Structures are given as structure tokens and as C-alpha cells.
Structure 1
Amino acid sequence: MLKKIQNESIPTIVDTKKRYSHWDKIRHLKTPNKFDSIEQYWHFIKASRLQQQKLLPFIENFSFILTDDIQEKIHQIDSKMHGSVEAKNINENKDRYIVGSLIDEAISSSQLEGAATTRKVARNMLKHNKPPENRSQQMIYNNYLAIQFINRHKQDDLTPSLILELHAIVTNNAMDDAVDVGRLRQDNEVNVVDNRTGATLHHPPDFQELPSRLKILCDFANGNAPDYFVHPIIRAIVVHFALAYDHPFADGNGRTTRALFYWVMLKNDYWLFEYITLSTHIKKAQIQYDESFLMVENDDFDLTYFINSQLKFIQQSITGLFDYIEKKQQQAQDASNLLSAYLADGKLNTRQVILMSHAVKHPGASYTFAGHQISHHIGYATAKSDLEKLAKLELLQQSKQGRAFIFIAPNNLEQRIKAYK
């Protein structure tokens, strides 16, 4: 029967609609005509997958299959990395995009772990360099520092000590027991629980195995294993899964895991990943994200499910970045047109034009030296000069809030700009 089926060229590792589906999906499909039951069809798919799987050097024998769909998605990501990135002129506004992406990734990654604060409040805290006021804000602030840490160490080999240092940054002042900050868990009391139902989804490995498991993960992340080529994007995704599976810390596992994904991508010269906010898209589809972990564990550690899921989030993140850039470039062009007289006289620089484009749309908005400094990745003296000049030109109203100067967008700002000759 099996030989006859193979000769008739029906789908093998994918279902009849060319999807790499789990048994939970397959069992609800109509049985293909060439099979006696849906169970027989599933066994045939599984046998076909076993012939094509690539084993990974982890204790549980993680594996994956390089499907046509995965290869196509990786090619699309690589093409955008090396093609349309230049066309979008990201580097012209590199600092501004990096700062915005760092803030958004820090917020979304922390919210995935339960941080309860609004994006507006969190952005205000980070942009104006305000100290965290509660644990949720502390988590977001820590994530912001962690992503910067990853960027500074992107050329270094990953080591267990570097991972512990990263965890210490992620969890500083944000754990129930401060002794757990920056150290591996000391017991087996940590489980992955469904926040909606309270059901236990995953029992991580024994805590005594963690040092050796972390060494295996680092060897893989650094490209020292296996003895065949693993595409850097696949490697980063596997690192993401492996650390999440081990759950080596009492808390802060998710935030540390997602930061390490970025580390692997940046180490392999995928510089575009400085700008994308993967956690934003994971947060929008957290149920599917959680399900992809479960499908792997319930199907002989076949990571293909998780790889497919993560590639979708990566593609969404890149699309979101390009949409953001296009929107910002249009806003900058509109602002340049509106402020053309000031630009012609050399009275405004690009940073000031960007700020003015925001101020025109947000009468009453306030700006500070620290916020402007962080938004544009500039020094304090430059930020101070930018805002004071805008006040001198009467485009912003200078005031004082406590001991700090603030600069407010007047309600008639557009009229003031148009009146300039």
C-alpha cells in the first residue's frame, strides 16, 4: 500500500493544501481517497517527515524539516535584508529608527510577561528618562537596557555567563526574590502555565541539568554544532525555542529568550533586526505563539511548527518596519514642504523639522531636552540647542515644570509657520 501511494505523487510531508499541519489539524480533515482512514494518512505523513528531518544537537533530539515554504520565507527575508532595505534609505535616519524600535520592543516583550502599563506611559518614561514607578515600568526599563546590552555584545561569542548577565539586566528590581536575579533556578518549582485556565503546559528539565544544557545551547548559537549548515535565521529561532523549553530561570525567561534571538541575528550581520519589533507581533497572536511550542513538544520535538510560526512573525515585523518608514518619510516630506521657508534660510535642521511635524499634529504636546536627546540619539547640548532655537523662532513656547524646562506646541502653530516670510 505504501509503495503504491508514493508512486502516485500525493502530498507527503504536508497536507492536501500544502500546509505543514499537526495531527490536531489533520484529524479534522476529510480522509484522502487513497487512504482507508485519517489515521493511516497521518502515519504516512509522519513516515515521510522522518525521512527528511534534520536532527539538532540537543538532548531531546530536536529536529526540523527545511520545507519549500520555509526556504521561500527565508529567501524573502534575505531579499529584503539585502535589497529593498537600501531603497528605503533606513540609514539616513538610523538613530531615530533604532530608538523607536528599542522602545517598542522593550514595551511589547515586557507586556508579554505581564507588565501592566499603557504604551503611552511606557514610551513617556523611556523617552524622558524618568525612573520606573512600579514593577511593570521596571520590567520595561530593564528590557530597554537589555536590548542595548545585546547590541553592544553582538560580536561576542555567547557564553553561559553572558546569558546570566543578560538575565540580571532583564530582572533587576523585578523579581519576587532578589537572590534569583542573574542565576539559574535552584529547584523544579517552575512550570509553564496557561494564564487563561491555570493548566500546566510544560514541565522544564531538571534544574541540575541546566549548566550542561546551557553549554550545549551556546555551542549551537555560536555555530560550533551541528556539522552541517544551519541558516542563521533558523539558528536564531532554534535558540529561542531551546532556552524557552529549558526555562532556566525562576522568572524572566521569555524576555531573556527573545533578547537572545536578536543577539543571534545581529551576530550574523542581520543588521535590519536592530529596527524590527518582533514582540509586538507575537503579542498580537500570543495564543498561536503558545500553541507552536505545544505542537513541537507533542510531536516528537519537531521544531518545524515553531519555525513556521516565527518566520511569520518576522515577516510581519519587517513589513511593519517598511510601513512605518514610508509613513515617517511622508510625514517628513509634508513637514519639509510646510517649513520650506525656514529650511531655505537655514534656520532649521532635520531633527527640528521632524519635531515640528509632530507638533503641528499635536497642539499642546510638550517636549524636553531629555526626550529630544533620546528620540534622536544626540547629546544633551545638541538637544538643548534644538529646542531653545525653536522657542526663539516662536515655534514652541518655553515654560517650566518644576525644575525642568518644557517646550509646548502652540495651538496656532501651523498659522505661525505659514506667516513666516
Structure 2
Amino acid sequence: MSKIRVPKPFSDLVNEFKNKNEPDVDHEFEEKKVVPSLSKYGATDRKGRYLHWDEFKWRVERGDDELVAWVATKINRKARAKYLQQLQADKESCFSYNIPDSLHARLHSIDKMIAKGQEIRDGNNFISSSDKQHYFVKSLMLEEAITSSQLEGASTTREVAQEMLKKSLAPKDKSQQMIFNNYQLMKKAIERRDEELSIEFILELHSIATYKAIDNAAISGQFRQDNNIIVTDLYGENVFYPPESQTIQSRLKHLCNFANQEHSQGSDFIHPIIKAIILHFMIAYIHPFGDGNGRTARAIFYWSILRSNDYWLFEYVSISKFIKEKRGAYDKAFIYTETDDFDLTYFIYNQVETIEKAIKSLYEYIDRKRDEFNQFMDWVNRSPLAKALNRGHLEILKEAVKSPGQEFTAKQVAIDFGVTENTARKYLVDLADRDLLVIAQAKRGKARIYIAPANLKARLEL
């Protein structure tokens, strides 16, 4: 990441242009230069981008004074800003944010996608209630657990991590432990979504996130006690010094009050997605722990957004995958907010874009699953073999067709489909007897494994 050009605080810029104690300063500056620029340089540029000075200074129109243009932009932003007095930044400033038209349009787009999900679910074309836990375990929360851990340095391969979670295996190293912890963390955040946020709950989430997987001599479930901590970027550059440790309790108390406050109507309205993003940012900013702040922050994002029944779809949406894909932009969004009068709008734009991508990815996933299901059901409707099988057999076959070479065990199938191990074993034996699965001996222990053959589709004549 290249060095970011930091703007001067707005108050300093104004003082430079309008210091009435200095007679040699042109006091008509604002009238002659800034005022005409107010209509030209709004809160966003003409493409709807909310630019930080780091990018803004290169996009000023030829012939215009870049500082005048920046002051005009800042005036327009401050005129429409919403100030969050509960969320203090330094001794004299609080955090604020804007919702320009381009951001409002993106929020509207997300809300429409959420509504589409409701229509799909109500039309029984989404995930059936009997499949919900299976879907939850094997797909999106699993993805969130893995990529959220990778953001914090976990190095286990995706295949190994998936096998560990799907088969409920014990973690073998710190990276696997991080992923296992994150999976438990996400489940806890969802289970407790109807409870209020408290300091005790934040500590509990951190304890789950960092169990046997914590660095910096930090202690799981405990706040940092000193200020010997610096946040660095991907290239090891020092980019942020968190607030003093003595302020952590007070800051988190105010943050919990903000999180639990009703913001659903009137002048106090805050869009639920905006609120969840703010909580995400604030945990990372306050940096209450020596390690594990990012994992805890993302869990609290999910806790917050899922408190609203209107946003149930987020239970199936993984944001960390897309944060990881553009980690540099994610880090920059933090820095932009921290270096420009604590304007949260930069981070909000970044996360709204991430959320859009994540929801679109979910619908792509649903479309693929629907196509696979329709193909499979066509076979079921015309196959004499399928009529001799029950739902349990068909569920296993559906997975086997999708993933040739996949291994099945009675224990895994029992967990995935909510049946006893004896029932699961019977399903697997029946399919093996019909030459639809291949039996092999596990490398360790006496358990048998059942493997989906590479030519299963041909055997089924799909």
C-alpha cells in the first residue's frame, strides 16, 4: 500500500483561509473562490464517488485550485453529516457520516435483494426448513469462518478446514483452531441476536474467537492493559495507534448504548446496515484487545444486522470472503476515516460494496443449487432406481453427484442430516450395495468411509 496523503483537519484549512487576526489575508477568499465551488464540488464527484483527499487531489478539474475544491467538498459534506455524539473519537471530536445519493442508491439495491430473498423463501424455492441446518453447516457460515480467520493470518488450506468442520474433527494447529473458533463465534452471534450488546457479551465473543489462538501476549476474554500496540497494514507499515487503554471501558459502554438504542424511525433513524457497519468499525477502532479485534468486530456486525427480522438473509451471507479479496481497500477505508475528521462514510461505502457482492454471490449460489436440484429431480422422476430409495438416500446421492470423490462417514451423515448414526450407516450401506458408493477403510481406526465414484452420473444416467 502506497503512503496515503492525509488532509489537514477542516478547522485548520478554514483558519488558513480566514484568519481575521492577520490583515494581510484576503478575507474575500470564501466569497470569491469557495462559494462558487460549492455547486461544482459536492459531497461526491460526478460519478458518485466519496473521495478522500488521497484520491481527490488528483481528480480536481484542470484550472481549479485543489484546496478550494476540497474546502467546498468538505462544506457540503458537513452540511449534511449526521454526528454520533455517543461515539467519541478524540477529546474534541465525535464520529459522523453522510448518506449521499450514490450510497442511498446502493442501500436501496441491497434492500431490494433482501426482498427478493423473502419472495424466494415464501415461494418455497429457497431452502426448505429440513435443509436449513445442512445448508448452514456446509456452506456460507463455513465460508465466513474460514475467510475471517485467513484475514487474521490463518494458513490452513480451505480443503483441510472444510474437512475439519464438516467432520467435526479436533483442530490440529493454531490456524485450524482459529477457524474452529470462528465457526463457534458466528453461531454464538446468531444465537444471541435477540440479546442486548454488553461489555460482558463482547468479552465472551472475544474469548470464543481467541481460544488457544491468540498473539501479542494478549489474554483471551480480557481487555488490553497498556498502549503498546500499533496496527499495521499488509506491508507492515504503522497505520494506526488505538485509543488509550484507560478509555476502553468507557468507550465500549457508550458503544453498547448506541448498539441497543432504537434507531428505527424519526430523526434518530439509522439504516440497520449502516448501524451494523458502524459497530464493525468502532470495535476495530477502539481496539479493546491485544489480538482478535477483527474477528470480534465482524461477529458483532452479524449480531447487529440479524437483530432485524427484515435482514434474516445475512445468516447466509459471508462478507469476509470479499473483504479478503480486496484487503487493501478495506484497510484504506479504515485509514481514510481516521485521517479525515473521523468521517465514517469512507468505511460505510467500502462495506456496502462488500455486502452487495456477498449477496449477489449468495444468489449465484442459490441459482447453481436450483439447477443442480432440478437436474437431480429430473432423474428422480424418470428413474426406477430413485423410486426404490427414500429421502435420506437421495440427499446423500445429491451430494455425491455434486462432488465426485467426496468421502462420507456414518458420523458425518448423521450430523448433516439430523439422523442417528445407525440410520446414516444403513443409508450408506444400501447405496454401496447398489454400486453407487465405493467402500474403503479409514486410514485411522476401524471406521468405514464411503466414496462418491467419479462416474456416478453415468451410473445414474443423469
TM-score by length of 2: 0.84
Quote the residue 1:199 is aligned against: 237
Query: Is 1:59 matched up with 2:95?
Result: no
User: Does structure 1 residue 250 correspond to structure 2 residue 290?
Assistant: yes
- Give CA-to-partner distance per residue, 1:176-226, whole Å, 9 cap, x none: 478711111111122211231x22111011111111111111111112579
The letter of the residue matching 1:218 is C
Counterpart selection for 2:127 from 80, 88, 91: 91
Residue 335 and residue 26 in structure 1: after superposition, are their counterparts in 2 closer, same or farther (change >3 A)? Answer: same
Match of 1:50 among 66, 78, 85: 78
* Partner Cα distance (2:296, 2:261) in 1: 20
**Superposed, which structure 2 residues align to 1:213-252 within 5 Å?**
213-223=251-261, 228-252=268-292
One-letter identity of the residue aligned with 1:413: L
Shift of 1:399: 3.4
Q: Given that residues 167 and 182 in structure 1 are in contact (C-alpha distance below 8 angstroms), is that contact kept between their aligned partners in structure 2? A: yes
Corresponding residue to 1:409 among 452, 456, 459: 452
Cα distance 1:282–1:112, how it changes in 2: closer, same or farther (>3 A)? same
Q: Distance in 2 between matches of 1:284 and 1:290?
A: 12
Distance 1:177 1:24 in 2: 32
The verdict on how the C-alpha distance between 1:20 and 1:399 changes in structure 2, with shifts beyond 3 A counting, is: same
Q: What secondary structure is seen at the aligned counterpart in 1 of 2:127? A: helix
Q: CA deviation at 1:10?
A: 2.8
Aligned to 1:28: 58
3-state SS, counterpart of residue 87 of structure 2: coil
Task: Please report how far the alpha carbon of residue 378 of structure 1 lies from its aligned counterpart in structure 2 after TM superposition.
Answer: 5.3
Specify whether residues 250 and 394 from structure 1 end up closer, same or farther in structure 2 by C-alpha distance, changes over 3 A only: same
- 1:317-349: CA deviations, max 9, x gaps? 000000011111111222223344257525132
Greater C-alpha radius of gyration = 2
Residues 1:68 and 2:101 are matched in the alignment: yes
Contact 2:37–2:68 under 8 Å retained in 1:
no
The percentage of counterpart residues that share the same residue type is 39
- 1:127/1:370 contact within 8 Å kept: no
Which amino acid is the alignment partner of residue 272 of structure 1? L
Which residue of structure 1 lines up, in the alignment, with residue 226 of structure 2? 187
Structure 1 window deviating more from structure 2 (152-161 vs 394-403): it is 394-403
For 2:349 and 2:215, locate their aligned partners in 1 and report how far apart those are by CA, in whole Å.
35
Residue pairs, 1:244-323, within 5 angstroms: 244-269=284-309, 270-323=311-364
| Per-residue deviation, 1:300 | 0.4
Which of 237, 248, 257 is the matching residue for 1:210?
248
Letter of the structure 2 residue corresponding to residue 59 of structure 1: Q
Q: What secondary structure sits across from 1:317 in the alignment?
A: helix
1:104 aligned to 2:146?
no
- Residues of 1 paired with 2:119 and 2:420: CA distance? 27
Judged with a 3 Å threshold, the aligned counterparts in structure 2 of structure 1 residues 204 and 342 are, in CA distance, closer, same or farther, namely farther
What CA deviation, in whole Å up to 9, does each residue of 1:50-72 have, x standing for no partner?
A: 11100012112100011111211
Tell me if the contact between 1:332 and 1:354 (Cα under 8 Å) persists in the aligned partners.
Answer: no
2:389 paired with 1:347: yes
**Residue 405 of structure 1: CA displacement?**
2.1
Distance in 2 separating the partners of 1:201 and 1:377: 48
Structure 2: how far apart are the matches of 1:21 and 1:116? Answer: 34
1:382 CA displacement: 4.8
Distance in 2 (CA, whole Å) between partners of 1:396 and 1:106 is: 30
Bigger drift between 327-336 and 52-61 goes to 327-336
Aligned residues of 2:224 and 2:289 also touching (Cα < 8 A):
yes
Query: Structure 1 residues 32, 44: closer, same or farther in 2, change over 3 A?
Result: farther
CA drift at 1:5: 4.3
Q: Which moved more, 1:242-251 or 1:186-195?
A: 186-195
User: Structure 2 stretches of 5 or more lacking a match?
Assistant: 1-31
Give the deviation of 1:174 after TM superposition: 0.8
Q: What does the per-residue CA deviation read over 1:62-121, in whole Å, with 9 as the maximum and x for residues that have no partner?
A: 000111112111111112212344326223242333221111100000000000011111
CA RMSD of aligned residues (A): 2.3
Distance change (3 Å), C-alpha of 1:15 and 1:411: closer
> Which residue number corresponds to residue 82 of structure 1?
115
Q: In the alignment, residue 246 of structure 2 is paired with which amino acid?
A: Q
AA partner of residue 53 (structure 1): A
Contact 1:332 1:353 in 2 (8 A): no
> Which segment drifts farther, 338-347 or 124-133?
338-347
Amino acid at match of 1:70: L
Note the C-alpha offset of 1:297: 0.7
Q: Which one-letter code corresponds to 2:357 in the other structure?
A: Q
